[in-house]
Structure 1
Amino acid sequence: MEDPARLGVTVLRDGRELAWAEWGPMDGRPVVFCPGAGWGRWLGFGDGLLAELGVRLVSVERPGLGDSTAAPGRTLLDWADDVEQLGLDRPAVVGFSQGAPFALACAARGFTSAVAIVSGGDELAHPGMALPPEVRQLVDLAATDPTTAEIEFARFGSAETLWRLTIDGSAELDREIYLQPRFEKAFRRTLDAGFAQGPAGYARDTLLHFAPWPFRLENLTPTVHLWYGAQDTNPTHSPDHGATLATRIPNAIRHYLPNAGGALLWTNARPILTHLLE
């Protein structure tokens, strides 16, 4: 996996710092990357493609993760307001796994050109969503007692725990990718960075994912590409691989790959970026 070409920090209006990493040409079309649960900024995607496609990929660390200043009590829409302050011109946005609601929040704020949700977390609190019992318990707790839920998520969260969950909860075809030495090294590095300030940033992110979202998917206007592999076995990704999401988002295009797993960002980066830039 390629190291970032550039690292930086943007000072926000309230004095907080938002840390980011970039790959690809500086003058490329900006694509903001909202990474997975507990991630820092060190793992990108599209190795060897970004210059060819003219993409400037910007991975942003959410508050409390990596080198981004913590913001207790923040919301999904607060995150979108932070991203808008990066000053990128109509960026496309990619949300992977738990990054999905953060990418969709950017769409709700109206400054994105298009969105790709890849193996994305769903609005688990949406009425009628069929969930495994252990996930349903957490969703109910996030809705009824968010303070306790956030404490529980913090107790659970660590770089090693998320690494083990990723490996143990993934299909064999995904494990083959994640356990490649270069990928494992980059993945562990980004998890270690994500928890550098402790588990509070991860806990807040997870609460925001599991709680009802503060915007209506039915009101989103950008094109949203939904990418799911049928072999994806992660229980906190979309329970129906984006089928319900596709009916809720007006301009959604669902890409369902029967022979793929959850590692679509690295197995299908070219079509994901190509469709996003159309």
Structure 2
Amino acid sequence: MTGAIEAKHFRTLFISDVHLGSKAARTDFLLDFLRYHEADTIFLVGDIIDGWRLKRNWYWPQGCNDVVQKLLRKARKGTRIVYIPGNHDEFLRSFPGTHFGGIEVAERAIHEMADGKKYLVLHGDEFDVVVRNARLLAYLGDWAYDAAIAINVVLAAVRRRLGMPYWSFSAWAKLQVKHAVNFIGEFQRVVADEARRNNVEGVICGHIHHAVMEDIDGIHYVNTGDWVESCTAIVENFDGTLEMITWGQISATAEITALPTASGLGSMQAA
């Protein structure tokens, strides 16, 4: 891996939906990514810690500690890190403007790119009708997603034995349901409308685990994806251009094994 992947430095890095505290969180892959990608500023765009799952069943292996410690070390070395809470880590929304070990908490942010364009940065759950108006339904959906992830682990093992490529049942199932109700398209539209109301050129969000960059009626809509299935991040180059990095695909294509964590105790948590 070290021969194939070169360390890179970017102006800004955007990551969301890591879900630390969930067995589906790919902490080792995120650690690898953070080792090879530096940035002047890192935006953590919500659902970094999965408070919902931690309330139901405490699960915090060494890999979760390693991710937190890696981010804190970057902050100590001068990286500006802004944490914008989502619905799963909404407990942090009570601390806007607070710094934890050099990590700044903010409800949302306006980020100016190197080329002068301004982007609204927010998690996006406030535009999810299910999360806003039917919390019980949202929790049930979260439980169903956990079940789909568990099925995914079994199917992945069977497909590996048969020599078949990786295929995500959980991602497929989620996409079928959300396409049925036109959820993704509607979510993107209302988030783009919010960006327009804020007089910015674009918006960067997370929440729906669907990484994409596209133009929506003159607004550049960017979704960071997640670190449960696709392992995607958005980076800003020093000329202000944005780029999507799909670490999951890089790993699968090159058959990369996650590097050992600094403590040597981290373990791959397959989704």
TM-score, normalization by structure 1:
0.33
Computing the radius of gyration from Cα coordinates, the structure with the larger value is 2
Greater RCO (CA < 8 Å, at least 6 residues apart): 2
